[in-house]
Amino acid sequence: MSKNWYPIINYKKCTKCLECVKFCPHDVLFEEDGKPVVKNPNLCVDYCRGCQKGACDFGAISYGGAYAT
Ligand code: SF4
Ligand code: SF4
């Protein structure tokens, strides 16, 4: 995985509401077996944080890669 910024889902906190899947307009997140999966990390927009701030009410999304804090 060469991308420097992509979401990481903490499945211990995730309630499987799938709001993040609906929210992201960049086809990064998909539903699989009823839970959100980071399918295309390379399509995530650096520093976006949209799914973390705009969709997830449960603190289940953080970011990985060299730029992530
Ligand atoms: S940070 Fe932005 S581009 Fe990346 S998965 Fe979340 S909403 Fe999509
Ligand atoms: S918005 Fe948060 S709680 Fe809901 S499915 Fe996505 S990661 Fe899980």
Is pLDDT above 80 for 2?
Answer: no
The rounded distance, in Å, linking the Cα atoms of 49 and 52 is 5
Which residues lie across from 9 on neighbouring strands?
A: 61
Amino acid sitting at position 15: T
pLDDT at 44: 97
CB distance 31 to ligand 2 below 6 Å? no
Which residues lie across from 62 on neighbouring strands?
A: 8
- Lining ligand 1 with CB less than 6 A are 7, 23-24, 26, 28-29, 44-45, 48-51
Is pLDDT above 60 for 1?
Answer: no
All domains of the chain in start order, with CATH: 6-64 (3.30.70.20)
Tell how far the Cα of 24 is from the centroid of ligand 1, in angstroms.
5
Is pLDDT above 90 for 21?
Answer: yes
pLDDT at 22: 98
Residue nearest to atom 1 of ligand 2 (CA): 56
Q: What is the pLDDT of residues 23-46, one digit of tens each?
A: 999 999 999 999 999 999 999 999
